[in-house]
Amino acid sequence: DVKVTQSSRYLVKRTGEKVFLECVQDMDHENMFWYRQDPGLGLRLIYFSYDVKMKEKGDIPEGYSVSREKKERFSLILESASTNQTSMYLCASRTGLAGMYEQYFGPGTRLTVT
Amino acid sequence: GENVEQHPSTLSVQEGDSAVIKCTYSDSASNYFPWYKQELGKRPQLIIDIRSNVGEKKDQRIAVTLNKTAKHFSLHITETQPEDSAVYFCAATTPNHRAGTALIFGKGTTLSVSS
């Protein structure tokens, strides 16, 4: 079974703090994704990585950055956390094989910025 | 880029009834359309998917239909049960999306099945 894990289930940070959210997958997947989930807005893509050190902006990258130094690990960074970044953050991964599009999600990190 | 619209946002049915959730997409190059189910407090999980070269796919009580011309696809759940209560997300992916082949999701439908 594919296993995608996230470093924290719940996180509380103060405005202005630098926040790191970590995601690890154990299936040697090439592609990894960060989404945020808000009620009524669904899952919105923040950033995406298709290889080590490679990244692509999603639909809402403002206020976020990412790092992928190793294939199994994809980090989401909030340089200066703000209250409007309070949300559920979901990581996902997918193989790079052509035509294989199923994404596997982690359990999520609920981040509260006060 | 791709845009996915999903309706309705909430759906309440009686146990045993059918439920239908509809999605439209904007990019005619989209070629893969999955449906994810997210139970309360859990991660989204794939329940069924369809590719652009297929018009319908069934798996027991769930089915998905795709109309490429109209650019819409639908999830059908028959003989609903209380355990079908969850949030359902449709999604679409296109090889030409600027983010590669990431999934773009609809806003979700909260399905409530009452017994």
Backbone φ and ψ of B103, nearest 5°:
-85, 135
> Within an 8 Å CB–CB cutoff, is residue A27 touching chain B?
no
Amino acid in the structure at residue B77: I
Question: With bands split at pLDDT 50, 70 and 90, how would you rate the model's confidence at B7?
Answer: very high
Assigned token pair, B52? 């652009």
pLDDT tens, residue by residue, B58-88: 999 999 999 999 999 999 999 999 999 999 9
- State how far the Cα of A113 lies from the Cα of A12, in Å rounded to an integer: 6
User: Which of A61-65, A94-98, B12-16, B61-65 has the weakest average pLDDT?
Assistant: A94-98
Q: How far is A18 from chain B (nearest CA, A)?
A: 25
- State how far the Cα of B105 lies from the Cα of B63, in Å rounded to an integer: 19
- State how far the Cα of A86 lies from the Cα of A66, in Å rounded to an integer: 18
Average pLDDT, chain A: 94
Query: Which of B104, B109, B110 is the mutation pick for testing A, counting most A CBs within 10 A?
Result: B104
Q: Which residues of B touch A44 (CB under 8 A)?
A: 105
pLDDT tens, residue by residue, B40-66: 999 999 999 999 888 999 999 999 999
Query: Which of B101, B104, B109 is the mutation pick for testing A, counting most A CBs within 10 A?
Result: B101
> For B39, which residue in chain A has the nearest alpha carbon?
A107
Question: With bands split at pLDDT 50, 70 and 90, how would you rate the model's confidence at A101?
Answer: confident
Contact A90/B43, CB-based, under 8 Å?
yes
Question: How many residues are present in chain B?
Answer: 115
- State how far the Cα of B72 lies from the Cα of B26, in Å rounded to an integer: 9
Mind giving me the DSSP string for B83-104? GG-EEEEEEEB-TTSTTSS--E
